[in-house]
């Protein structure tokens, strides 16, 4: 018996419901906290300004906090459809910590948006290996990137995993509804 999986179009609007989790809250850095909060509630472009202030003023105090602010600003850039700016922030965060799961996932999303499915799959996989806060998002993005490359069985499996991990999250369910499994 042969199985054929068919998918119909996907929209970039899927990202509005699937952003990665904000990175790291610091209790003694008010600007870093404002950046984190903005990314947590997906508040852009005001949040971008808060992250800019955090990066500019607190950059020399703690490299991890700078990295977290870069990831958070990258999230906000993604939400604001500024993939190139987001990519730069994720690259800088990954230069500090090449295994940072939220930076890897953000970079995966950016690569997927740019049409680089192979890179997005690799980055989402690395994110999963390093424990992102929301693994379902990594599976969703990896699934969409696999689909972008025509790897429909892998895409379908990743989307199913995203649904299994977060059954109350509507986006994987909506994405799976685009698929039709036909058995011969």
Claim to verify: residue 159 and residue 180 sit in the same structural domain: yes
Asked if residue 107 belongs to a domain, the reply is no
pLDDT of residue 43: 79
Residue 64 has pLDDT above 90, yes or no: no
32 vs 103, higher pLDDT: 103
| DSSP secondary structure, the chain, as one string | --EEEEE----GGGGGG-PPPPP---TT-HHHHHHHHHHHTT-TTHHHHHHHHHHHHHTTT-HHHHHHHHHHHHHHHHHTT-HHHHHHHHHHHHHH-TT-HHHHHHHHHHHHHTT-HHHHHHHHHHHHHT--S-HHHHHHHHHHHHHHTT-HHHHHHHHHHHHHH-TT-HHHHHHHTTEEEEE-
pTM of the model: 0.86
pLDDT of residue 38: 87
Domain that holds residue 176: 1-19+117-184
Claim to verify: residue 57 and residue 78 sit in the same structural domain: yes
pLDDT digits over 33-62, tens only? 888 888 888 877 788 999 999 888 865 456
pLDDT of residue 74: 94
Residue 99 has pLDDT above 90, yes or no: yes
30 vs 179, higher pLDDT: 179
Residue 27 has pLDDT above 50, yes or no: no
pLDDT of residue 44: 77
The mean pLDDT value of the chain amounts to 85
R_g of the chain computed on alpha carbons? 17
- Report the CATH number that the domain containing residue 125 is assigned in CATH: 1.25.40
Residue 130 has pLDDT above 70, yes or no: yes
Name beta bridge partners: 7. 179
pLDDT of residue 174: 95
Domain count, the chain: 2
pLDDT of residue 6: 52
């Amino acid at each position: 018996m042969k199985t054929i999986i068919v998918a119909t179009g996907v929209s970039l609007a899927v990202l509005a419901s699937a952003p990665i989790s904000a990175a790291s809250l610091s209790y003694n850095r008010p600007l870093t906290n404002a950046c984190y909060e903005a990314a947590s509630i997906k508040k852009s472009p005001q949040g971008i300004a808060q992250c800019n202030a955090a990066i500019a003023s607190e950059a020399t105090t703690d490299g991890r906090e700078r990295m977290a602010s870069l990831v958070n600003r990258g999230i906000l850039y993604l939400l604001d459809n500024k993939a190139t700016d987001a990519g730069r922030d994720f690259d800088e965060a990954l230069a500090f910590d090449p295994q940072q799961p939220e930076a890897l996932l953000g970079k995966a999303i950016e690569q997927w948006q740019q049409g680089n499915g192979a890179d997005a799959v690799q980055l989402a996989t690395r994110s999963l290996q390093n424990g992102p806060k929301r693994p379902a998002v990594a599976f969703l993005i990896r699934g969409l990137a696999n689909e972008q490359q025509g790897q429909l069985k892998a895409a379908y499996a990743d989307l199913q995993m995203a649904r299994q991990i977060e059954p109350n999250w509507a986006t994987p369910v909506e994405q799976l509804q685009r698929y039709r499994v036909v058995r011969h």
